[in-house]
Amino acid sequence: MAGANCLVANDWICWDYVTSRSQELTDATLEHIWITAVSVLIGIAVSVPLALLARRGRHWAAPVLAFTTLLYTVPSLAMFSLLLPVFGLSAALVVTGLVLYSLTILVRNVLAGLEAVPEDVREAARGMGYGPVRLLWQVELPLALPALLAGVRIATVSTVALTTVGSIVGKGGLGNLIAPAVNSSFRAQVLTASVLCVLLALAADLLLLGLQRLLTPWTRAGAGGRSAIPAPAPAPAPAPAPAPMKGA
């Protein structure tokens, strides 16, 4: 139905709802984007040190990976309840929970990317005088970017979905519209907010895919089967010794 009649009839698709609640939809969408972005960025910052710790050996890798996997198995309501005494009913509660959930994906992908760096590349860098810190930042992390960004894409889409659960504390972005609409059977609000969540996830994935292609051009250059990682340049050959003079 068109106009206000679709609201009276409680239709699923109602343009009048979109126009009359445009500011509310915009605010909820912006809050959803903010919570997702902050959670993923903090997750990346935490996952890199954890992946470096796990790379030190199996005695570190097993507990780190087991801990991050265990976090993902905790139901969202239980997770937020455990964090409630620390953060109260705030956005920090939701962000912290989402960060903990993202570690499962991010730590594994960062670790996989670091372990995929060829050892001969590391040796070549060490031979050029690279210390551990410089080796990490200028060689290993750049070469681990494809795996890292792939993990960021998955974690971001997952976080977009999980952010809606934050509605239980009033900080769920579009989830703040979905939850009460489900309880009151407000169809237009349920469908509109849900579609916006899907569009956010698709937009974030496409944006990160473009960023991945921009930052890792060598992955496309090596798609033809040859190695995409350039080999270290060989040392220059020594100059030939001068020929002895006749009669010397």
For the chain, the straight-line distance linking the first and the last C-alpha, in angstroms and rounded, comes to 108
Four-CA torsion 141, 146, 148, 152, nearest 10 degrees: 140
DSSP track, 173-238: TTHHHHHHHHHHT-HHHHHHHHHHHHHHHHHHHHHHHHHHHHH-HHHHHTTTSS-SSPPPPPPPPP
Q: What is the pTM of this model?
A: 0.80
pLDDT in tens, 100-143: 999 999 999 999 888 888 888 888 888 888 888 888 888 888 88
Burial 62-76 (b: 16+ CB within 10 A, else e): eebbeebeebeeeeb
Which sequence spans correspond to the domains of the chain? Answer: 5-220
CATH number of 5-220: 1.10.3720.10
Average pLDDT over residues 239-247: 45
pLDDT at 237 over 70: no
Percent of all residues in the chain with a pLDDT value above 90, rounded to a whole number = 28
Q: How confident is the model at residue 233 (pLDDT cuts 50, 70, 90)?
A: very low
